[in-house]
Amino acid sequence: MGGQVVTAVPWTAERVAGLAPDPASEKAGRALAAPAKWSGAGASEDAVWGFCQGSGKKPYQTCVELAEPAFRCSCPSRKFPCKHALGLLMLWAAGKIDAGPAPEWVHTWLAERADRARRAEKRAEATGPKDEEAAARRAGERAARVEGGVAELKVWLTDRIGAGFAGFDRNGGEELRTVAARMVDAQASGLAGGLRRAAGTVGRRDWPEALLSELSLLYLLADAAGRLDELPPPLAETVRTRLGFSVETARVMETGERVSDDWLITGAADEENDRLLTRRTWLRGRGTGRDALVLSFAPPGRPLDASLPPGHLLTAELAFYPGAAPLRALVVERGIPLAAPSAEGGSIPEALAAYAEAMAADPWLERWPILLSAVTPAEHAGGWCLSEKDGTALPLVPYAFPWPLLAMSAGRPLTVAGEWSPAGFRPLTCWHENRAVRL
């Protein structure tokens, strides 16, 4: 080894596992994390690489670029990253790959990538302003369709409430899904999502009131959509976002509120909807106390953004999307995530007060990040909750698997981060004996 070879700090195994596109890949990756499977493996500051002996004659050539991260493997798998890339990173995480100068093929690939990124940037610059007219026309057409959808929804809502929705449970909310489909046609994805959520409540024990809650908020949204010009600009932005209009990344980068801080990555939740994977990553600014949400999307089998590992601290500048209660943000400038072995949160009353304030600004808020210090899992009315010393507690969502949290607590207080919603608290990360554990 030459003395000047520098390597990146190996990631934790949990962080590698977080990259897996599905549990099967994680499992297969772990099985490949054995030195005997690899030859010619090495690591540098930018990349990890190696040859993996598969079932075929020729070993697979695997390389991971660490910054983004990006993956390349000569195997035929369509999963991304493939099990070989995961296995290689696991092996690296276990400290079983030595530092060394990158071989020619790794250099070539890294250079290709850098080159492509430069070209894409140039292209974006070159094509930027040209299509402005066409873009404006398209935006106008879209707005008109959404407007039509909003009007149709209002008619349907008032008609339905006029006739009463007793009997909705008989066909399991079929009618709601039909209206949702029409909202998709009208390009009002926010309204469609709300209707599908409403359909999901039908059949629950308390469905009439849950349904009325969802439908009334949709009405509020449709109503606000017709008065966008009268609303204060931030609230108008919120309404547009809730309707399903996306804000261009470039605009957020240019005009979004910038906040620099040391951000604690408090948790990440993955969800699959309509064959699209969504990862919600929550951040809390250590200095500013600001909460932020970074969304990442991917079709199944493709990687979600893994550059924000929960339980790590990241010095970064964020650009917030516009809105009345700005939460969603983009990461503009970032440092290297460092493991945060402990975290400091607040109390339950503080968290609920912050949630109420956010709700007042954005009544369509679905989830709110909460970071609690010194809470203990406890039982309440047949369910689980997180309790403070004085007996103040938040109920857990009914579908949460409480046992890992219980095992870490064993009756003692913990710091826990998670999402609060009308259904309850969903724990995402917990700090225990100087390490963060993803739940």
Partner 1 sequence: MKAWEDLVGTALLGTRRRTLDLAHLPPAVRPLAEDRADPAEQLLAAAAVLTTFRRAGRQALHDVRPLPVATEDERAFVPPLARERLARLLAASHPDLLLEWLGIVAGTRYRVPPETLPLLAEAARTKAALRGPLVAVAGPVGAWLGQRNPDWSFLGAPAESGGSPDIWQYGSLAQRRRWLAAKLAEAPDEAREALTTSWKSEPADVRSDFLSVLAPHVRPEDEAFLEAALTDRAAAVRERAAELLGRLPGTRYGESMAERLRPLVRSRNRVLEIVLPQGERGDGTVRLRTLVAAAPLAFWTEFGPPAEVVRMTVEGCPAAVLRDSWATAAVRQGDETWAKALIGADPGGRTTPPLLGVLSPASQAATIGHLVSRLPVESFARLVHELPRPWTKELGTALLDWIARQDDHRLVSHAAVVIARAVPPQCLRHPLATTRLTMDAGPWRRALTETLNFRREMYEELA
Q: Alpha-carbon distance 258 to 320, whole Å?
A: 7
Calpha distance 414→342 (Å, rounded)? 10
Q: What are residue 61's DSSP bridge partners?
A: 51
Q: Is the peptide bond before 422 cis (omega within 30 degrees of 0)?
A: no
Tell me the window of 111-119, 159-167, 239-247, 310-318 that interacts with partner 1 (CB under 8 A).
Answer: 159-167
Binding partner 1 (rule: CB under 8 A), the pick from 5, 8, 27, 257 is 27
165 burial level (CB within 10 Å; 0-12, 13-18, 19+)? middle
Residue among 185, 209, 274, 333 that touches partner 1 (CB under 8 A)? 209
Among 46, 100, 142, 165, binds partner 1 (CB under 8 A): 165
Q: Which is nearer to partner 1, 105 or 401 (CB)?
A: 401
Question: Cα 250 to the chain's mean position, in Å?
Answer: 20
- Which residues in the 213-232 window bind partner 1 by CB under 8 A? 213, 215-217, 219-220, 223
In terms of DSSP H, where are the helices of 77-226? 83-93, 104-127, 132-163, 174-185, 189-201, 207-225
Footprint (CB under 8 A) of partner 1, residues 51-110 = 53, 55, 57, 90, 93-95
Establish if 401 lies at the interface with partner 1 (CB under 8 A).
yes
Considering only residues 274 to 293 of the shown chain, the ones binding partner 1 according to CB under 8 A are: none
Over the Cα atoms of the chain, what is R_g? 24
CB of 16 to partner 1, least distance (A): 10
Residue 183 touches partner 1, criterion: CB under 8 A: no
Q: For residues 27 and 142, which CB has a smaller minimum distance to partner 1 in the complex?
A: 27
| Minimum distance of partner 1 from residue 295's CB (angstroms) | 22
Interacting residue with partner 1 among 44, 238, 241, 387 (CB under 8 A)? 387
CA-CA-CA-CA dihedral for 174, 179, 183, 189, to nearest 10: -40
Segment (H or E) for 373: strand 368-380
The answer to whether residues 199 and 180 touch, using CB atoms and an 8 Å cutoff, is: yes
3-state secondary structure of 420: strand
Residue 171 DSSP symbol: G
How many residues form the binding site for partner 1 (CB under 8 A)?
A: 74
Q: Which of 125, 132, 159, 254 binds partner 1 (CB under 8 A)?
A: 159
Q: State yes or no: residue 166 binds partner 1 (CB under 8 A).
A: yes
Choose, by CB under 8 A, the member of 7, 11, 17, 318 that binds partner 1. Answer: 17
Nearer to partner 1, 259 or 358 (CB): 358
If one asks whether residue 392 binds partner 1 (CB under 8 A), the answer comes out as yes
Query: Residue 320: which residues within 8 A CB-CB, separation 6 or more?
Result: 252, 256, 257, 258, 259, 292, 326, 327, 328, 329
State the nearest-atom distance from the C-beta of 207 to partner 1, in Å: 10
- Counted residue by residue, the chain has a size of 439
Stretch that binds partner 1, among 73-81, 101-109, 264-272, 351-359 (CB under 8 A): 351-359
Give the number of other CB atoms < 10 A from CB of residue 243. Answer: 25
Question: Phi and psi at residue 127, in whole multiples of 5°?
Answer: -90, -10
Q: In angstroms, what is the minimal distance from the CB of 140 to partner 1?
A: 28
31 binding partner 1? (CB under 8 A): yes
Binding residues for partner 1 restricted to 311-330, rule: CB under 8 A: none
